[in-house]
Chain A
């Protein structure tokens, strides 16, 4: 469970200071949570708070009882993070190597076990035919699937995705959305694609750093549309 308690976040200091999240209080036990809001409303900052990439200026964030401030590494092992731009998060030259990257420090797994897990993920994400290809030769959709595969191979219990389909065409958006739907993990999805949130348990609407609505998809989307008018 994700618990965000009394969180205010400020970027910069002094005259540069900018409050981008204000008094956010929310507990998220649901399996499917979506986050929507205008550009600059604080969605990415909220997403980054969940895995400790950003530490709150005030308040606390915990995941399964782990405090992002005190147990940052443990939190990041629990929470996988998928960025908008897959090119920025693919760190190894080839597909297979990038998937194996997250397992490189796993002393509890033998070389064969690591290879088996990587192969399984390659198949599941339909990347087996490209296993030894350079990552930069993949299509945009394949790159995003690779990014997803590389995060999921470490078996996080929560997956946070920050606009994973914003750079994709409709077909690849459906593919990525399909994979996200099939996950056993708890999912926190930041998105501008309101079609994707239909099946979600809960939708958070942010506006200028405040959580202005929190509920079922239909009401939340209606609220969001009214806001944008």
Chain B
């Protein structure tokens, strides 16, 4: 959990590229993925993203850890497509998801969250005229990233507490305390944001 997609300081080309450009590449990849329909295209994209990790000086282990949380989703989606649409489609769909997740991981690993937020706020600037507050959306993005780690930490603690009491893995005994802690955290966070002047 600790190595999931958070900025790792560095000076590589991938680190030095402007955050806005990296976000744009990610967006373009997302849009472009719709047109991918051959396994070789997916393979090529995987190679390119893999090279990106090499350029950024990130190890294979880091790359794999970006994908690991998704393993079950990929397996389910893949199985579904093998049954319904055949293996080629299965490879393409799971491959595209994998490529996009790895690319997103590469972007967040090589960019400070604050730079990403600033870039997003600039991009969203024109929406101000429609009553959208770009700074608020940027803050939401940063909070979202931070909250992933806080909730992951809760999950770990809940699991440990259950093991300590010798409880076997029951989904409900796991989910209920996790949800309660997360909701309480959301409450406290809201208060802290007001205290820290987020509504200024």
Q: Which A residues are closer than 8 A to B by beta carbons?
A: 51, 53, 73, 76-77, 81, 83, 85, 87-94, 97, 100-102, 105, 132, 134-137, 150-151, 154
Residues A93 and B146 in contact in the complex (CB < 8 Å), given A88-B189, A100-B114, A134-B6: yes
Sample of 18 further A-B pairs with CB below 8 A, known A73-B199, A94-B112, A132-B112 = A51-B195, A81-B195, A85-B188, A88-B185, A89-B189, A89-B192, A89-B195, A89-B196, A91-B143, A91-B146, A93-B149, A94-B113, A105-B197, A134-B7, A136-B149, A136-B150, A137-B2, A151-B196
Q: Which B residues are closer than 8 A to A by beta carbons?
A: 2, 6-7, 9, 112-114, 142-143, 145-146, 149-150, 152-153, 185, 188-189, 191-200
Beta-carbon contact of B196 and A92 below 8 Å: no
Shortest Cβ distance from A160 into B: residue: B195
On chain B, the residues within 8 Å of A73 by CB distance are: 197, 199-200
One of B6, B143, B195 near A94 (C-beta < 8 A): B6
Beta-carbon contact of A136 and B113 below 8 Å: no
On chain A, the residues within 8 Å of B196 by CB distance are: 81, 89, 91, 101-102, 150-151
Residue contacts A-B, CB under 8 angstroms, 28 given: A53-B195, A73-B199, A76-B195, A77-B200, A83-B195, A85-B188, A87-B153, A88-B185, A88-B189, A88-B191, A89-B188, A89-B189, A90-B146, A91-B143, A91-B193, A91-B196, A91-B198, A92-B113, A92-B114, A92-B142, A93-B7, A93-B149, A94-B112, A101-B196, A102-B197, A105-B200, A134-B2, A151-B196
Assembled-state Cα–Cα distance A134/B146 (Å): 9
**How many pairs, one residue from A and one from B, have CB atoms within 8 Å of each other in the complex?**
85
Shortest Cβ distance from A83 into B: residue: B192
Shortest Cβ distance from B152 into A: residue: A136
Shortest Cβ distance from B113 into A: residue: A93
Beta-carbon contact of A97 and B113 below 8 Å: yes
Write the nearest CB–CB distance from B140 to chain A, whole angstroms. Answer: 11
Assembled-state Cα–Cα distance A77/B143 (Å): 21
One of B9, B114, B142, B153 near A136 (C-beta < 8 A): B153
Write the nearest CB–CB distance from B49 to chain A, whole angstroms. Answer: 22
Beta-carbon contact of A91 and B7 below 8 Å: no
Beta-carbon contact of B142 and A93 below 8 Å: yes
Write the nearest CB–CB distance from A60 to chain B, whole angstroms. Answer: 20
Shortest Cβ distance from B1 into A: residue: A136
On chain A, the residues within 8 Å of B195 by CB distance are: 51, 53, 76, 81, 83, 89
Assembled-state Cα–Cα distance A89/B193 (Å): 7
Assembled-state Cα–Cα distance A105/B79 (Å): 49
On chain A, the residues within 8 Å of B149 by CB distance are: 93, 134-136
Beta-carbon contact of B200 and A135 below 8 Å: no
On chain B, the residues within 8 Å of A93 by CB distance are: 6-7, 113, 142, 145-146, 149
Beta-carbon contact of A53 and B142 below 8 Å: no
Beta-carbon contact of A53 and B197 below 8 Å: no
Beta-carbon contact of B188 and A97 below 8 Å: no
Write the nearest CB–CB distance from A35 to chain B, whole angstroms. Answer: 17
Shortest Cβ distance from B197 into A: residue: A76
Shortest Cβ distance from B149 into A: residue: A136
Residues A87 and B113 in contact in the complex (CB < 8 Å), given A93-B7, A151-B196: no
On chain A, the residues within 8 Å of B188 by CB distance are: 83, 85, 88-89
Beta-carbon contact of B112 and A97 below 8 Å: yes
In this complex, the member of B2, B7, B185, B192 whose beta carbon has the largest number of chain A beta carbons within 10 angstroms is: B192
On chain A, the residues within 8 Å of B200 by CB distance are: 73, 77, 105
Write the nearest CB–CB distance from A131 to chain B, whole angstroms. Answer: 9
Beta-carbon contact of A94 and B7 below 8 Å: yes
Assembled-state Cα–Cα distance A89/B153 (Å): 15
On chain B, the residues within 8 Å of A154 by CB distance are: 197
